[in-house]
Amino acid sequence: MKELKIHSMPELPFAAAEALNQLRINLGFCGDGIRTVMMTSSVPNEGKSFLTIQLWRQMALVGTPVLLIDCDFRNSEMRRKYGIRSANQEKLLSAAHYLAGKAEIQEVIYKTNIPNGYMIPVASTIANPTILLESPQFARMVEYCAQRFAYILIDTPPLCSVADGLNIARHCDGSVLVVRSGSTPRKLVEHSAQLLKRTETPLLGMVLNRADTGSRASAYYQRYYGSSDYGYGRGHSHNKSPNGGT
């Protein structure tokens, strides 16, 4: 298996690492049938990709074989920010190469310098990946990977920007919606939840990101989505993650 190196993975402050560790544990409480999880948001800059790659690392570090599939083909935050490169300077292959029939599935799955962490990266920007995402090959890719990894995390574009996430959600066991505290309007969050409901994909929970636990905005989200700290499961609950990423 070919290898990727992630050159720019920031170390987290203790509080942020613990919040993500709690998120990892709570995902396990969702049940044995929840193994392929879509990570999404309503709009850009809510911290979705940051949380996805950090959650992926947390899972890998405790010994869980976990695959991260970057499906943000139009504007991959991971490709741009985390210095993801082929370890042997070979041409990087992505899910798009497999979906377009230009590579075998085994050729696009990479092990990484994070033990137990595997990745299908984005190699280049694709202006309109809709045809690829609606291809029967996408379902085959997810099914193949689900048989080989304990968890799959799929990073997608924001739901209110393009329809890509809705195409992907249909192939997942559940979705996690990242909400930026004090920034994302309630109406947008409600709209995203309704969009996911149409796909018949369970909304496992919401992650309240960049939360100031003493702020009025945080108190508002707690009242609206649930009162317990780190509440996470089926329905409208939240996990507070104090991160500074985007």
Per-residue confidence in pLDDT tens, the chain, 246 aa: 899 999 888 888 888 889 899 999 999 999 999 999 999 999 998 999 999 999 999 999 999 999 999 999 998 988 888 888 888 888 899 999 999 999 999 999 999 999 999 999 999 889 889 999 999 999 999 999 999 999 999 999 999 989 999 999 999 999 999 999 888 899 999 999 999 999 999 999 999 887 665 544 444 434 433 332 322 233 333 444 434 333
Which runs of consecutive H residues, i.e. helices, occur in the chain?
Answer: 14-28, 48-61, 77-81, 95-99, 105-108, 130-133, 136-146, 164-169, 186-198, 216-225
Distances (CA, A) of 234 to 58, 156, 216: 21, 20, 25
Residue 212, pLDDT score: 66
pLDDT for residue 11: 83
Please give the pLDDT value at position 228: 29
Residue 56 token pair:
């992926």
Write down the pLDDT at residue 222: 43
Structure-block tokens of residue 79? 């490709």
Whole-model pTM: value is 0.85
Domain 3-241 = CATH 3.20.20.120: no
pLDDT in tens, 134-157: 999 999 999 999 999 999 999 999
CA distance 169 to 164: 9
Residue pair 212/180 in contact (Cβ under 8 Å)? The answer is no
pLDDT of residue 182: 85
Phi, psi of 183 (to 5 degrees): -130, -50
What are 2-13's pLDDT values in tens digits? 999 998 888 888
pLDDT for the residue numbered 148? 97
pLDDT of residue 158: 94
